[in-house]
C-alpha cells in the first residue's frame, strides 16, 4: 500500500505518474467495444469482486444513466445502452455460491442472460480470481467479446481476455482508482457518441 509510506502530495504525484503510463489505446478500445454493442443492440456485462465489484456497479450505473442526455429521458424512441453489472444480484450470487461454489457466480448468470455478440468487461486487480476467469472462459466459448481490466502482473486474465486495460502496479487501491478513471472517460466518450 503505497499510501502507507507516502504523504498526500507524494501519493497524488505517484498516482499521476501511474496514470501517465497507461496506454490510451486500451481505453479507446473499450469505448469502441461499448459503442459497437450500443449500435448492434447487444448487452454489456460487467463483473468484479470487492473493490473491483464496486467499480463494476459504479461503471454500470454511469453507463446506463450517464451516457443519456437529459433531453432523451422521456423519449421512448431513443435507443438505450443495454448494460448490466452481474455483481448486483445478491440472492442469485449467494444461491450459486452457497450451493455450487463461488467460482460459478458470474458464469451462471451469463448462461441465463448473455448471447453471441455481447461484451463482457471483467475487472480483477490480480487477474486471477477464479469466478472472473470462469466467466471469461465461458464468454470466449460462446461468442462474446471479452475485455479484462487488470493490475499487478495481469495474472491469467490478461492473456485470457480478447482485449484489456492493464495497470502494471502492485498496489490494489491505485489500480482500482485508475480503472475507475478510465471508466469515467469511457462514459463521457459514449455520451458524446450517442447523446450529442
What's the grid cell of residue 51? 473493490
For 121-162, how does the pLDDT look when each residue is reduced to its tens digit (9 = 90+)?
999 999 999 999 999 999 999 999 999 999 999 999 999 999
pLDDT at 33: 98
pLDDT at 4: 86
Residue 31 lies in a domain: yes
Residue 4 lies in a domain: no
Residue 17 lies in a domain: no
d(CA 63, CA 71): 16
Contact 127, 48 (CB under 8 A): no
Strand partners, 120: 45, 146
pLDDT at 22: 96
pLDDT at 91: 96
CATH code (residue 139): 3.40.50.10490
What's the grid cell of residue 86? 452481474
Number of domains in the chain: 1
Residue 10 lies in a domain: no
Contact 110, 140 (CB under 8 A): no
**CA separation, residue 75 to residues 39, 71, 78 (Å):** 18, 8, 6
| Segments of the chain scoring below 50 in pLDDT | none
Question: What's the domain range around 28?
Answer: 23-195
- The predicted model scores a pTM of 0.97
What's the grid cell of residue 22? 497507461
**CA separation, residue 195 to residues 70, 102, 124 (Å):** 9, 38, 30
Residue 185 lies in a domain: yes
CA nearest neighbour of 47 among 116, 117, 109, 100: 109
Contact 123, 56 (CB under 8 A): yes
pLDDT at 156: 98
Residue 15 lies in a domain: no
Backbone angles phi, psi at 3, to 5 degrees: -65, -20
Residue 3 lies in a domain: no
Residue 97 lies in a domain: yes
Q: How far is CA 87 from the centre of its chain?
A: 11
Amino acid at each position: 500500500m503505497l499510501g502507507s509510506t507516502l504523504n498526500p502530495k507524494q501519493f497524488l504525484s505517484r498516482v499521476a505518474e501511474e496514470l501517465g503510463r497507461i496506454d490510451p489505446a486500451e481505453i479507446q478500445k473499450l469505448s469502441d467495444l461499448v459503442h459497437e454493442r450500443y449500435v448492434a443492440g447487444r448487452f454489456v456485462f460487467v463483473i468484479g469482486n470487492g473493490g473491483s465489484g464496486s467499480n463494476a456497479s459504479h461503471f454500470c450505473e454511469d453507463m446506463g444513466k450517464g451516457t443519456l442526455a437529459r433531453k432523451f429521458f422521456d423519449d421512448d424512441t431513443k435507443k438505450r445502452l443495454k448494460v448490466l453489472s452481474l455483481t448486483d444480484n445478491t440472492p442469485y450470487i449467494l444461491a450459486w455460491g452457497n450451493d455450487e461454489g463461488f467460482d460459478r457466480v458470474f458464469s451462471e448468470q451469463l448462461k441465463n442472460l448473455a448471447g453471441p455478440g455481447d461484451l463482457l468487461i471483467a475487472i480483477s486487480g490480480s487477474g486471477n480470481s477464479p469466478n472472473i476467469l470462469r466467466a471469461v472462459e465461458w464468454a470466449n466459448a460462446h461468442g462474446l467479446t471479452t475485455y479484462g481490466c487488470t493490475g499487478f502482473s495481469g495474472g491469467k486474465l490478461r492473456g485470457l481476455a480478447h482485449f484489456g486495460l492493464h495497470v502494471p502496479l502492485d498496489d490494489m487501491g491505485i489500480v482500482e482508482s485508475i480503472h475507475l478513471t478510465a471508466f469515467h472517460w469511457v462514459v463521457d466518450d459514449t455520451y458524446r457518441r450517442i447523446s450529442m
